[in-house]
Structure 1
Amino acid sequence: MRRFAEIEDLSELVRDALGAGHRVVAVDRLRGGTKKGVYRVRLDGPRTESVIVYSWAEDENFWPSRRTEDPADPFAPASGMVPFLAAQRALHSLGVRVPQVLLADDSRRRYPADVAVIEDVTGGTLEALFETDPERASGALHDLAEMLGVMHRSPARNYGSVYLLERGDGVSEVSCERRVLDRALEDLKEAAGRDGSIAAAEAALHDRLRELAERVSPRTEYGLVHGELGPDHVLVDTDGRPVMIDIEDLMYFDVEWEHVFLRLRFHERYAVLDRPGLDPRRLDLYMLAMRLSLVAGPLRLLDGDFPDRAFMQGIADHNAKQALALLPSV
C-alpha cells in the first residue's frame, strides 16, 4: 500500500523553508501526478497562506520500471530534484516564469525522499481560466507564446535533457528524427500488444512511420522545449502571467516536437502559439509518433495501480483512433 505525506511529515520541512512563525494546518495531495507527489500545504502564519511541496518518493511514482538502454535518450524518464532544479535554472535565466523555489533538500534528514518547497501560484491553471475568465486567459496565452518564442530560439549545439547536458553528459550522435522514429516503433509494438485496433493496423503503422522518417532532411538546430506543455501545465499568477510547471523533462530538441503537443492540447487556441518556419515533414512524423506515445504510455501506466484508470484509458482510446486516422486512405 502506498504511503503519502501528512501534516506531521511536512511540518519541519515547511518551517525550515519559511521560518518558525508558520504552522502547517492542512495538507492536500493534488490530483494528476504520476511521477511525483504534489501537495498544497496550508499555513497559519504571516503573509504566506500556502506553499506547494514536491515529493519524489518512490511511493509517488506510478510508472512501472522500464529499462533504458541509452543514457543519452532525452525521452528517458526524468524525475527528481536534480532535473527539476536544472530546468528551473535554465528557464529562470531566460526570463521564463516558473514557481520560486523556497527550499530544496536531498539530505533525507527532514523527509525520507528528495523534496522541494515552492511558491504556490494560486491563480489556477490556464485550462480552467479558458472557461472562467476568457479575457484573462487570452492575455496569459499571448504571454505564453512570447515565452515559448524565447525558449525555442534558445540555441544549443547538442540536443538532450537539460540536466544531463548541464553536467556534460547526454550528448548523442543519433539525430532527433531517428530518436523519435525508434521510440515510435517501440511504442507501436507495445501498443499493439495492448490495443486490438492498433494490433490490426500494426504493419501499416510501421510502414507509415518509416515512410515519414525517410522524408525528413538532416538538421542540427535545437531549441529549448518543455515537451509536455498543455494548458494544465501552465498556471496563471495574480498579475495574469503564465507560470510553467512540470518542467523536469525540459530538453533541447526539435521545436516541432513541442508544437505537435501544443496542437493536440490547445486545439483551436493553438493559432496564438504557432510560428513560421516549422518543418512540415517533421510535424507529420512527430504527430504520428506522439499519438502512438499517448497510446502506449497510458496503457503502460495502467499495468500498475494508478488510481484514475478511466481517465488514462480514455486518453489511450482517443489517441489510438487519431493514430489510425493518420494512415493514408486506400
Structure 2
Amino acid sequence: MVTKMHGGAQKVVYKIDCTNGFSCVLYVWDITMNYFQQEIAGQNTNAQSYGSEQFEINNRYLLEHSIRTPALYDMNKDRNPYDFDYALVEYVAGQAAEAYFSHSDSRVKDTIFQRLGDMITGMHAGESEIYGKPDQTEHDTGQCHLIQLQNAIIQLTYASEYIDVIRRNQGKLLDMLYKLESRVEPRRRYGYIHGELGPNHVLVTDQLEPCLIDIEGAGFYDIEHEHSFMEFRFGDFYRFLKNDNLDVNRKLFYQYHHHLSLISAGLKLAQRGYPDQQTAKGISDYHTRRALQFIES
C-alpha cells in the first residue's frame, strides 16, 4: 500500500507498506511539484536546498558522523523511465518534535529536547574552512552571510509588490538590513548546520530519540544562521538548544534575514496553491510583524 505523506514544499513523500510487513519511504524530487521551482530555475538560495544529490551528500555525512537521520536504501538518478530523481529511505516511526510541545509529562519533554540539544551541539562542532556542502573543495573568497544579504534584498522587493505595509516601509527595512550587515565581521570557520531546523524537521522515535529529516539544505555555514532560526521555531524549548558562544551581531543579522525571507516564502506558498493556505498566510503575517519590530524599536 502506498500512502502520500506530508512532504513539505520541495519534494513529494510517500510511505510504502509491503505485504511482508516491511515499510519504507519514497522521496520524489519532481521539479513540477516544487512550490519554489521558479527560484530553483533562477539558481538562487532555494537551489542549494533541493535535489537528490544534496540529499545523498548530506545523508552520507550525517550517518558517518553518527547523527540520526533515515538511512538511504536506494537512489535512482537515471531519469528513466521517469524524468525525476527518487529514493527509497528508511521509515522512522514517530512524531514531529512539535507534537511534544504540549506533552503532559515534563520529563518526556526534557528528555527529548535535551537529546536534540546534544545532537545539534555535536553536529555544529563539525568544522570546515570552506562553506557549502561536505564534498566542496573550492574556496569562495566571499563571506557566506552576503548570500543571505542578497537574498533578503530580493525577497523584500518581492514582498513589497504585494503587501502594503512592506511597500510603505521598504526603505526603512532595507536600511536596517544594511545596518545589521555592517556589524558582521569576517570569518573563516564554519560549522555543519541543517539549514532549516524547525521542530517539523525533527522526528522523535518511540524511544524518544531525535532524527533529522529534510536534510537537503544542510552544509557548512555560520551556525548563527541555524540558531537564529531555531530560536523562533522552538520557542521556550530553545533553552535546550541554545549556544552561549555565538557572535551576537551575526545572529541578529540572520534573524532579520529569516524574517524578510519568510515573509516572501509564505506569500509564494499562498499564491502557488500550497494545500495549507492558513499556514502559508500565517507565516507571511507573522514574519511581517517581526520584521517591522526591527524598525520600530
- TM norm. shorter chain > 0.5: yes
Does the CA contact (< 8 Å) of 1:74 and 1:251 recur in 2?
A: no
Does the CA contact (< 8 Å) of 1:126 and 1:137 recur in 2?
A: no
RMSD of aligned alpha carbons: 2.0
Distance 1:209 1:68, change over 3 A: farther
Counterpart of 2:259 in structure 1 is 291
The residue type equivalent to 2:152 in the other structure is: A
Distance 1:102 1:64, change over 3 A: closer
Does the CA contact (< 8 Å) of 1:64 and 1:304 recur in 2?
A: no
Counterpart of 1:55 in structure 2 is 28
TM-score, L = length of structure 2: 0.92
Inter-partner Cα distance in structure 2 for 1:246 and 1:33:
9
Structure of greater Rg: 1
Deviations 1:290-318 (A, max 9, x none): 10011011212334232222221111011
The residue type equivalent to 1:119 in the other structure is: E
Task: Report the CA distance between 1:74 and its aligned residue.
Answer: 5.7
Match of 1:45 among 12, 20, 30: 20
Distance 1:68 1:183, change over 3 A: farther
Inter-partner Cα distance in structure 2 for 1:297 and 1:213:
21
Inter-partner Cα distance in structure 2 for 1:241 and 1:158:
31
Does the CA contact (< 8 Å) of 1:299 and 1:312 recur in 2?
A: yes
Identity among equivalent pairs (%): 30
Moved over 4 A (4+): 109-112
The residue type equivalent to 2:174 in the other structure is: H
SS at match of 2:214: coil
Is the counterpart of residue 300 in structure 1 residue 263 in structure 2? no
SS at match of 1:53: strand
Structure 1 window deviating more from structure 2 (276-285 vs 305-314): it is 305-314
Does the CA contact (< 8 Å) of 2:204 and 2:211 recur in 1?
A: yes
Counterpart of 2:135 in structure 1 is 166
SS at match of 2:101: helix
Distance 1:54 1:318, change over 3 A: same
Counterpart of 1:66 in structure 2 is 39
Deviations 1:265-314 (A, max 9, x none): 10011011001211111111111111001101121233423222222111
Is the counterpart of residue 207 in structure 1 residue 175 in structure 2? yes
Is the counterpart of residue 149 in structure 1 residue 121 in structure 2? yes
The residue type equivalent to 1:107 in the other structure is: D
Counterpart of 1:131 in structure 2 is 102
Structure 1 unaligned spans of 5+: 1-25
The correspondence of residues 82-231 of structure 1 with structure 2, limited to 5 A, is 82-109=53-80, 111-132=82-103, 134=105, 135-160=107-132, 162=133, 166=135, 168=137, 171-231=139-199
Task: Report the CA distance between 1:113 and its aligned residue.
Answer: 2.4
Distance 1:159 1:68, change over 3 A: farther
The residue type equivalent to 1:87 in the other structure is: N
TM-score, L = length of structure 1: 0.84
Distance 1:167 1:180, change over 3 A: closer
SS at match of 1:76: helix
Inter-partner Cα distance in structure 2 for 1:110 and 1:190:
37
Is the counterpart of residue 34 in structure 1 residue 9 in structure 2? yes
Deviations 1:161-184 (A, max 9, x none): x1xx51545x42221232222221
